C-alpha cells in the first residue's frame, strides 16, 4: 500500500490537487500570487509542477477543511481548480521527466499520537 500504515485504505485516502492561474501583471497581483503559493506550502501541499500542487489526506473528511481553506484564500482574479482523487488513482498517474518514467510522489508517513 505504497508505504502507508495498514489502517489507511488506498481507496479511502485522498489527494487534493490544486491547479491555478493567478495573474501577476501588477505588483499587488504578484504579492497575492506569492502569498497564495506560500499558504499552499504551509498547509502541506507539495509542488507537482508550476501552478499544480497536491496534498495527501487520510480521508474525505480530513480533506474537507483543506478545501474550505483553499476556497477562502483564492486571490482576486485567480482561477483555481480543486480535484480530489483516491490514493489508488493518484498512484496510477504516469509521471515523466524527459523520456524517463518516474514514480509518483509517496504519501507522507502517518504519525499516530496517543
The residue segments making up the domain with residue 26 are 14-102
Model confidence over 60-80: pLDDT tens digits?
999 999 999 999 999 989 999
What number is the average pLDDT over the span 104-112? 70
- Looking at residue 11, what is its pLDDT? 75
Q: Is residue 82 part of a domain?
A: yes
The confidence score (pLDDT) of residue 16 equals 97
SS3 track for the chain: CCCCCCCCCCCCCEEEEEEEECCCCCHHHHHHHHHHHHHHHHCCCEEEECCEEEEEECCHHHHHHHHHHHHHCCCCCCEEEEEEEEHHHHHCCCEEECCEEECCCCCCCCCCCC
- pTM comes to 0.82
Alpha-carbon span 69 to 62, nearest angstrom: 12
Domain presence at residue 58? yes
Q: Do the domain assignments include residue 107?
A: no
Asked if the structure places residue 7 within a domain, the reply is: no
Residue 113 has pLDDT above 60, yes or no: no
Mean pLDDT of 12-28: 94
Instruction: Count the domains in the chain.
Output: 1
Query: Does residue 41 sit within a domain?
Result: yes
Which domain CATH number covers 96? 3.30.70.240
Q: Residues 46, 105, 112, CA angle at the centre, nearest 5°?
A: 80
Amino acid at each position: 500500500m505504497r508505504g502507508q500504515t495498514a489502517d489507511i485504505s488506498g481507496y479511502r485516502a485522498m489527494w487534493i490537487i490544486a491547479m491555478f492561474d493567478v495573474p501577476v501583471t501588477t505588483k499587488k497581483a504578484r504579492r497575492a500570487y506569492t502569498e497564495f503559493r506560500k499558504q499552499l506550502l504551509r498547509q502541506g501541499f507539495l509542488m507537482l509542477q508550476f501552478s499544480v500542487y497536491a496534498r495527501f489526506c487520510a480521508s474525505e473528511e480530513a480533506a474537507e477543511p483543506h478545501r474550505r481553506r483553499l476556497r477562502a484564500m483564492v486571490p482576486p482574479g485567480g482561477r483555481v481548480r480543486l480535484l480530489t482523487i483516491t490514493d489508488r488513482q493518484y498512484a496510477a498517474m504516469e509521471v515523466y521527466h524527459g523520456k524517463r518514467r518516474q514514480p509518483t510522489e509517496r504519501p507522507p508517513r502517518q504519525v499516530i499520537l496517543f
